[in-house]
Structure 1
Amino acid sequence: MVTPTESIKWKRRPLSTMGQTYKALNFEESVLCSPTQYFKRYIPDDLFTSIAAYTIIYALQQGKSSFNLPMYWDTSLKVNVFWENISRDRFLELRTNLHLVNNLEKPPENKDKFYKFRPVYTAIRKRCSDLPIEENVCVDEGIIPFTAKFTAKQCVRGNQVHGESMSSCCVESVLLFQVLKSQGINAVGTVRQNRFGKNLPFSDDKTIMKQTRGYCEEITSADEITMCKWLDNRPIVLCSNFVGKGSVDEVELWNKKHHKYVKVERSEIVRKYNHAMGGVDLFDQLISSYIVFIRSRKWSCV
């Protein structure tokens, strides 16, 4: 049962029941594959066959009858993978006419802004659905820097980054935790306090900043959704449908003021969150190493 945000009554009390943790089957990758093999698991060959067919259809619609042009790549650079496999003009023609769908088959009522790219999303989603379910699944979102006009573009205030938001799910309100709980899925994540209603019975940030690092307040709703405000270098709000403040342990964290590690009390909800979110840090690190700034809607202008 889902309770509207404005109807939820939060009280200062601990979570009364702890959710059962899913135990995943043990699995290991028996054979280490090449990057190309991993890529083909998500983007299969039949998708490239469809791309080739729709590219030819679009080229014919634009009055192009053939891709067989006489000129080849300049061999002075000696990049064999280019000039031994495809001519320069053929590549430019393919780049200009590249399509994943047939424009004439688009339904008139279709409002999908990603219609022309949807086959790639579908292929990746299908592959992800086939993967074994792990015990801890970490979900995050990222911004692809993009400055051209596009209806899905967003601006991240504070970072001054414009781009397209790419995510699997977003912690927008208590509704997500309620729905996941109804499906037997445990969830924990950092949240924005203002998305969970007004006048929550938390102390304000100024009051909490006067407390010792590691201080934690917990509030819980009638349907056993809990929120904790934990003090690190600043107050952090976490929400969960299966774990609250729970058992407290100590962890060593860096103190910028005294330039040394100090022991800080850590609530169970923080411990569960930190244990499962390592994949996000690795993902962000890899993305930052290969980031591409896109300034045009034309895919080749990167």
Structure 2
Amino acid sequence: MITASLPRDVPGNIEVFRSNKDTIPCGDFDSSDDEPLAEKAKRSRRQQPDQPVWRTCSPTYSTTTQERTEVIARQKLVKEQFQDLTPVQIFEKIFDDEVISLIITNTILYANQNNRHTFQLDSVDLKKFIGILILSGYHKLPREDLYWSYDEDVGVEMVSRSMPRQRFRDIKKNLHFVNNDEASSTRDKMFKIRPLADILINKFLQWGVMHDNISIDESMVKYFGHHPAKQFIRGKPVRFGYKNWVAATFIKC
């Protein structure tokens, strides 16, 4: 039986050892060869290192006492300057004259580059346009035209009285934040909004309300068009769009 089962293509001599499990000293025989696969899997799981145990604890800060005092003083200063302001006035702290001027200049420039020389834009119409965009963010309708509809169940009188529909479309068509002629000198995928983003970041650092507990999180901006910076994340409520990293805080009620 042993001779018949030996391999025929091995050069040289072959030594065959026969043994009985009962006569082999402990440690010399690997009994795992006769174990079912299920038992091996259970044993391998038992041999894995213990999984980490997460628990809630108070955060520790590396800031010094002087830095902490400066943060508290800054919070107090921002609170004093904002406490008597309306929501519109607080918004204008971020979208101030510098931002408005940037948008107007580049929007008119883009219209002229496309032979629309009759197009003009001032700060009043631009603020109305931004207000309509903010309103449409939470008062959603199936189509943009319905905001100017005469039907009582869909029309929004606040929108139709503030700006004609065609004027809104003209501003939306020409809205720009950068000179397109400078696109060839940069490889920045987000160059279209880079000047506006740089200004807003400085405004957020200036007027941002600081909290003790800040968490880095991600936020998706829904977008279905074509752009090299657009991402697809499976399993998310918003799967297509731009992924932004945000400093998230919470307010205790």
Q: TM-score, normalised by structure 1?
A: 0.42
Higher relative contact order (CA 8 A, sep 6+): 1
Kindly indicate which of the two structures has a greater share of residues assigned to helix: 2
Kindly indicate which of the two structures has a greater share of residues assigned to strand: 1
Q: TM-score, normalised by structure 2?
A: 0.49
